[in-house]
Amino acid sequence: MRNFLSAEDVPNINELVQKAIGFKADPTGSKLSGTGKRMGLLFLNPSMRTRLSTQIAASNLGMESIVFNVGQDGWSLEFEDEAIMNGTTVEHVKEAAPILGKYFDVLGVRTFPGLKDKAEDYSEFFIKQFVKYSGIPVVSLESASLHPLQSLTDIITITENFKEKRKPKVVLTWAPHVKALPQCVANSFAQWINAWGEADFVIAHPEGYELDKKFTGNAAIAYDQSYALKEADFVYVKNWSSYSDYGNVLSTDANWMLTNEKLFATNNAKVMHCLPVRRNVELSGEVLDGANSIVTQQAGNRVWAAQAVLSEILNG
Amino acid sequence: MRNFLSAEDVPNINELVQKAIGFKADPTGSKLSGTGKRMGLLFLNPSMRTRLSTQIAASNLGMESIVFNVGQDGWSLEFEDEAIMNGTTVEHVKEAAPILGKYFDVLGVRTFPGLKDKAEDYSEFFIKQFVKYSGIPVVSLESASLHPLQSLTDIITITENFKEKRKPKVVLTWAPHVKALPQCVANSFAQWINAWGEADFVIAHPEGYELDKKFTGNAAIAYDQSYALKEADFVYVKNWSSYSDYGNVLSTDANWMLTNEKLFATNNAKVMHCLPVRRNVELSGEVLDGANSIVTQQAGNRVWAAQAVLSEILNG
Amino acid sequence: MRNFLSAEDVPNINELVQKAIGFKADPTGSKLSGTGKRMGLLFLNPSMRTRLSTQIAASNLGMESIVFNVGQDGWSLEFEDEAIMNGTTVEHVKEAAPILGKYFDVLGVRTFPGLKDKAEDYSEFFIKQFVKYSGIPVVSLESASLHPLQSLTDIITITENFKEKRKPKVVLTWAPHVKALPQCVANSFAQWINAWGEADFVIAHPEGYELDKKFTGNAAIAYDQSYALKEADFVYVKNWSSYSDYGNVLSTDANWMLTNEKLFATNNAKVMHCLPVRRNVELSGEVLDGANSIVTQQAGNRVWAAQAVLSEILNG
């Protein structure tokens, strides 16, 4: 694996999942594989879980990691090829990326969508500029439209929690939120579940919240959450802003908040969320505090997902 | 030792002091004891000495440490159990703490008092939520009402500087300041000196600056600084805001600033301060630059205090 | 070498350059020399290249490094000896520096010029206070009037790129910019090139941009950029604000931007810049993207410059 930007970079998802589960059982068994290697972690917006889990994953492999928060530690980057830089950006990615490529062996980058210009966000222009100019493998720590480390974690967590022979029913349900959020986690989960192919997959959301078909593919879409939740084995709760009416909040309908009552209709479903979660807005506190929630296990698995990816990248 | 939040967590203060002094003589003699262990350092407000000394202490024990500045690196945490999170906080400690508990072996946390609600501050609600939900040992890097790593440092420093058979006279004296500061350092020093039991302890401050009796216990209280300073072996200078008229500044009386002239009345007292100190406001520059000041030695001892505490926690 | 603040601290520039080139060929060959040593990196203003390259250099030598961003991680420092600290600064360098001296073996410090008070800036008061009070070796990570790690890098890069027997013609040319920048990089480059003595050195700039004679020495000064560029082997592009009309921008004349057309007059000159660079303001994009630009190689060499300096300091 050269870069890790989406499910398309992964030849075999199950193999990567098993590799991660192996690291969970033996975190430092491959400690020597990263010795003498350095990873730069470049954040164009803040992060807790992703930063910490990737640093720990790198350390488990014997790699050194150095965090750089753009804007806070440094300065604003310019991404437009022909920019006349007489404004607020002080360094072009054409200079910054190759230098990071000289300093590090692997580059993790977190970019973000502006949620104004759909075409720009979905072109993944920012992270692709790092791929183009850094000269070293790039790992997405979340990008404008995708969050592949999260999705790998999600499939690891589903694999750990489902031991039956049949395919699990996995429901991704939209939830209310107070802010306009990216579609990244939802897009990416859909992309990975489809590429994985080992789940019956349903996406539930109010009308107007349809995700990009290139990620959802043949997933069933339901506007009726109750209907979607029936017999679900996993319920993944997540807010996103509208893709069609790009970046806007069309609904804050509190009826879409997941509650214990709604879980009755499921097959005693495990409840997932990428975190951070707005308690009693997206998910009721009783669900998060209850036995069905696996959000903490899921967040813990971020380490093993990152470690599996870094290990594959070190292997070339 | 499971957690380190106050003097009450320490079975034997003198043993911990001697352990710290041992580390000062041989910083990396226990390098193997922390190998493969990770400490998360979570700052809800900024720090220099505490952050650096704890990182160095962890490193001396072979532990890896990772710093996370909440708010700056990440986002605002919610602490109220039943919060409906439709405001500015984006993650609940009920999610954040157990995840940190999965990522780390020991968690250092710095919280702070709002200085508005005495009951809330003195309940130590914030740091206790981390203890409750993280599932791993928690070390206070200063909390709303206490600063135990500082107090352990202070007793190490007194022990190093006093070799007579009798008990030293230790005076904690209030000093003027331009801002309303927490009572943490003063509370904690009083708690530790009382728990230690090896000093004659006097607290001097203007009327209205009485500290919480649960920390000061039977310490002598003096409103007359000159009287208190007589024959003192150690003078600990520190500002704090009012506890009774909670969080307010009742006096900025410059006569309470410690000067060389005032030291004449002491037993050639050593002068201590937790730092940072406002020169020529709390303490005169001549005192800080003079032979009686041991503030730098004291700050240097922060490393050995943290190392002794981490070592005890690693030992369980 | 005790401290590294300017070319004057270096007994033999060529030896230091060769040492750096040796580290480039074998980055971790001296890994044991820094084992058990710690470097503090104190930034009074932000940095990308300097921070990352110095951390990597330290790591290559087996040293641990800890970054501290003053103001962001901590608080404002006071530098005036007799200050009455009743304002916004909360800690005096007289306390901060010796404590850092207790925590670390080497201290890197980045300070900056206010660009208001020439005498204060050029006295290098801030960094000299750290030298005075820390008690440990101090490495400049850029100071108010100089940037010696950059200049060492520059001479390493010239040495790598020039293999002829004669002296290269090196032109430092002023370039337009949208902001008032320090004279540090230009001063320092002039100081080092003069101390090195192995180049024919010309400085080109509009009238009013004369640098301090104590750094430029006998360098030829040209107000005509075209004339200066003739037969140049290296063109170093950099903006600076006026030294005589201190800190002011006297010209933003776009005719001073380096373009491919201007390079025709040179001896196929290599183009250098310390970065970050304002594309199409200081330098045309075509130059930066072209074969003559060695700015990325130059930035990569920051690691080896820092490593050579740290190695010399470890050797005492």
**CA pair distance C114, C136, nearest whole angstrom:** 26
Q: What is the pLDDT of residue A74?
A: 56
Q: What is the pLDDT of residue A75?
A: 66
Q: What is the pLDDT of residue A195?
A: 98
Q: What is the pLDDT of residue B316?
A: 85
Helix axes B13-25, B148-161, angle to 10 degrees: 70
**CA pair distance C218, C201, nearest whole angstrom:** 9
Cβ within 8 Å of B, A 20-39: 28
**CA pair distance C223, C186, nearest whole angstrom:** 16
CB C235 within 8 A of CB C270: yes
- Kindly list the strands in the beta sheet with C220-222, ordered across the sheet, starting from the edge strand earlier in the chain: C220-222, C200-204, C169-174, C234-238, C270-272
Tokens of C257: 């931007």
Q: What is the DSSP letter of C279?
A: B
Interface contact C132, partner B, CB < 8 A:
no
Please list the ranges in chain A whose pLDDT falls under 50: none
Give B242→chain A minimum CA distance, Å.
36
Chain C environment of A87 (Cβ under 8 Å): 178
Give C95→chain B minimum CA distance, Å.
7
Tokens of C57: 């250099």
Contacts 24+ apart (CB under 8 A), C284-291: C284/C257, C284/C258, C284/C259, C284/C260, C285/A81, C285/A82, C286/C259, C286/C260, C287/C258, C287/C259, C287/C260, C287/C263, C288/A94, C288/A95, C289/A94, C290/C260
Question: Once rounded to an integer, what is the mean pLDDT over residues B198-217?
Answer: 98
CB C306 within 8 A of CB C57: yes
**pTM given for the model:** 0.96
Q: What is the pLDDT of residue A69?
A: 85
Interface contact B179, partner A, CB < 8 A:
no
Q: What does each C-alpha distance from C147 to C18, C127, C129, C143, C190 come to in angstroms?
A: 20, 12, 17, 6, 11
**CA pair distance C231, C54, nearest whole angstrom:** 35
Give A157→chain C minimum CA distance, Å.
35
Q: What is the pLDDT of residue B75?
A: 66
The three-class DSSP label of residue A300 is: helix
**CA pair distance A85, A95, nearest whole angstrom:** 13
Looking only at the bridges linking them, the beta strands covering A138-140 and C38-43 are unpaired
Chain A environment of C72 (Cβ under 8 Å): 72
The pLDDT > 90 percentage for chain B reads 91
Tokens of C158: 């010239």
Contacts 24+ apart (CB under 8 A), C286-294: C286/C259, C286/C260, C287/C258, C287/C259, C287/C260, C287/C263, C288/A94, C288/A95, C289/A94, C290/C260, C292/C263, C292/C268, C294/C157, C294/C161, C294/C270
* Most B CBs within 10 Å, among C44, C72, C85, C94, to test the B interface: C85
CB A288 within 8 A of CB A260: no
Taking CA–CA distances from C41, the nearest residue in chain B reads B52
**CA pair distance A135, A138, nearest whole angstrom:** 9
Contacts 24+ apart (CB under 8 A), B72-81: B72/A46, B72/A72, B72/C72, B73/A46, B73/A47, B73/A48, B73/A51, B73/A69, B74/A46, B74/A47, B74/A48, B75/A46, B75/A48, B75/A276, B77/B44, B78/A279, B79/B125, B79/B126, B79/B129, B81/A285
Tokens of B159: 């022990």
Q: Is residue C77 scored above 80 in pLDDT? A: yes
The owner of tokens 């998060």 is: A288
**C73–B48 CB contact, under 8 Å:** yes
The owner of tokens 């600990």 is: B236
Helix axes A49-60, A302-314, angle to 10 degrees: 50
B83: how many CB neighbours lie within 10 A of its CB? 17
Give B68→chain C minimum CA distance, Å.
11
**C296–A83 CB contact, under 8 Å:** no
**CA pair distance C270, A6, nearest whole angstrom:** 39
Q: What is the pLDDT of residue A45?
A: 84
**CA pair distance B124, B143, nearest whole angstrom:** 7
Give B98→chain A minimum CA distance, Å.
7
Tokens of A108: 């993790």
Q: Give the torsion through C-alpha atoms of B263, B267, B270, B276, to 10 deg.
A: -40
* Most C CBs within 10 Å, among B64, B296, B297, to test the C interface: B296
Q: What is the pLDDT of residue C44?
A: 87
Please tell me which of the candidates B74, B78, B99 has its beta carbon nearest to residue A296: B99
Of A164, B140, A135, the residue nearest C300 (C-alpha): A135
CB B78 within 8 A of CB B92: yes
Interface contact B40, partner A, CB < 8 A:
yes
Q: What is the pLDDT of residue C316?
A: 85
Question: Once rounded to an integer, what is the mean pLDDT over residues C273-293?
Answer: 97
Chain A environment of B85 (Cβ under 8 Å): 278-281
Q: What does each C-alpha distance from C290 to A47, C255, C295 come to in angstroms?
A: 36, 20, 11
Chains that touch A (3 or more CB pairs under 8 A): B, C
pLDDT band at residue B21 under the 50/70/90 scheme: very high
**CA pair distance C126, C103, nearest whole angstrom:** 20
Taking CA–CA distances from A44, the nearest residue in chain B reads B73
Interface contact C74, partner B, CB < 8 A:
yes
Strand partners, A236: A172, A272
Taking CA–CA distances from B77, the nearest residue in chain A reads A276
Q: What is the DSSP letter of B176?
A: -
Chain A environment of C110 (Cβ under 8 Å): none
Give me the amino acid identity at C155: I
Taking CA–CA distances from A28, the nearest residue in chain B reads B36
Q: What is the pLDDT of residue B1?
A: 95
The three-class DSSP label of residue C286 is: helix
Q: Is residue C72 scored above 80 in pLDDT? A: no
**A84–C300 CB contact, under 8 Å:** no
Question: Once rounded to an integer, what is the mean pLDDT over residues B71-99?
Answer: 87
Give C67→chain B minimum CA distance, Å.
9
Per DSSP, which regions of chain A are E strands?
38-43, 64-69, 77-78, 91-92, 106-110, 138-140, 169-174, 200-204, 220-222, 234-238, 270-272
Q: What is the pLDDT of residue A72?
A: 64
**C48–A102 CB contact, under 8 Å:** no
**CA pair distance A2, A106, nearest whole angstrom:** 10
pLDDT digits (tens, 9 = 90+) for A111-144: 999 999 999 999 999 999 999 999 999 999 999 9
The three-class DSSP label of residue A4 is: strand
CB B20 within 8 A of CB B305: yes
pLDDT digits (tens, 9 = 90+) for C24-60: 999 999 888 999 999 999 998 888 899 999 999 999 9
Interface contact B220, partner A, CB < 8 A:
no
Question: Once rounded to an integer, what is the mean pLDDT over residues B97-126?
Answer: 96
Q: Which domains does chain A have, with CATH numbers?
A: 7-146+301-314 (3.40.50.1370), 150-299 (3.40.50.1370)
